[in-house]
Amino acid sequence: MAGIPSFFKTPAGALLIAAVSVVLIIVLARLVNPGTVNSSTPEQIYDGLQGIVEGARARKVQQALCALRPICKDFARARQECAAAGNYGTCIQIKMGSDRFWIAEASCTEAGEVAGLPPDKQPTVLGCLFHW
């Protein structure tokens, strides 16, 4: 084993050797039996593409909800802070900024949740962290 570089004796080196081996096996399997590569019917290809599109749409919706979550939380906080203000609307617009206020007013509940979603569908910190 004196002729083997020290990198290949480490766990990372062993992982690299295993990965290269798997790739070679897959390539050789495709070369030996190339008929299985494109044996999908047009319907199967269409169904696969539909699944990809639906997954992308669901990710976009999740991203939009995750972007809305902090705005709704800020809206609830600003509502509490502005409750005793002389001019409630102006107070909230100043605390949130007018762009975020209009978004929050149309999309958030008074409790700081996304409007129209049941409690189990509300975006969570962990859910948003892993869906970006």
The residue to which tokens 């019917």 are assigned: 41
Token representation of residue 125: 């910190």
Q: What is the DSSP string of the chain?
A: -TTS-GGGGSHHHHHHHHHHHHHHHHHHHHHH-GGGTT---HHHHHHHHHHHHHHHHHHHHHHHHHHHHHHHHHHHHHHHHTTT-SSHHHHHHHHH-HHHHHHHHHHB-TTSSBTT--GGGS--HHHHHHH-
CA distance 125 to 28: 44
Q: Please, are residues 103 and 69 in contact by the beta-carbon 8 Å criterion?
A: no
Which of 36-45, 46-55, 77-86 has maximum average pLDDT?
A: 77-86
The predicted pLDDT at position 73 comes to: 93
User: So where are the chain's domains?
Assistant: 70-132
- Is pLDDT above 90 for 22? no
CA distance 99 to 114: 17
Q: Which residues pair with 108 in a beta bridge?
A: 114
For 52-82, the pLDDT digits (tens) are 888 888 888 888 899 999 999 999 999 999 9
